[in-house]
Structure 1
């Protein structure tokens, strides 16, 4: 029978929702993967945050009127 048309089978190997070696291997592996990728992923987000906050501060600054422009008004 063609593999695309084959009927689904049930996997006989049991799957664990919470593996036995989660604390001994899983958490350290997650930490290792995080450390290896943080300097590749974080800088664009930091740059985006800096640009976003600068843009909001600049917008608020430009919304205000300059008091020096109105010193000679009565």
Structure 2
């Protein structure tokens, strides 16, 4: 028995193994696909009656978890920027005795 791996140069390009053009794809059998028509769907069903209260509930539940680290980080950033601006100025007391 002689086994040999098929490589791309050994396969002869024929119509049966070449891809077809756009819109002429092969038929797929054995797969059932169910869907609803886009005209029968309600895209925003319950968006206002259920969505907005849920949004506010989630915001309230996570605010005190997320906000304090951001407030601390902003405070550190603000104080660092103020200290940097203060250190970059010349101190007039250092030059009081200059003529």
Structure 2 residue runs without a partner (length 5+): 1-30
Equivalent-residue separation in structure 1 for 2:58 and 2:50 (angstroms):
12
- Correspondence 1:39 to 2:64: yes
Q: Which has the higher contact order (CA 8 A, sep 6+)?
A: 2
The RMSD of aligned alpha carbons is: 2.3
By percentage of residues, which structure has more helix? 1
* TM-score normalised by length of structure 1: 0.76
Which whole-Å CA distance do the structure 2 matches of 1:59 and 1:45 have between them?
21
Aligned residues, how many? 68
Match for residue 56 of structure 1?
81
Counterpart among 62, 66, 73 of residue 91 in structure 2: 66
Please report the TM-score for the alignment, with normalisation by the length of structure 2.
0.59
Give runs of ≥4 in structure 1 deviating > 6 Å.
none
Unaligned runs of 5+ in 1: 1-6
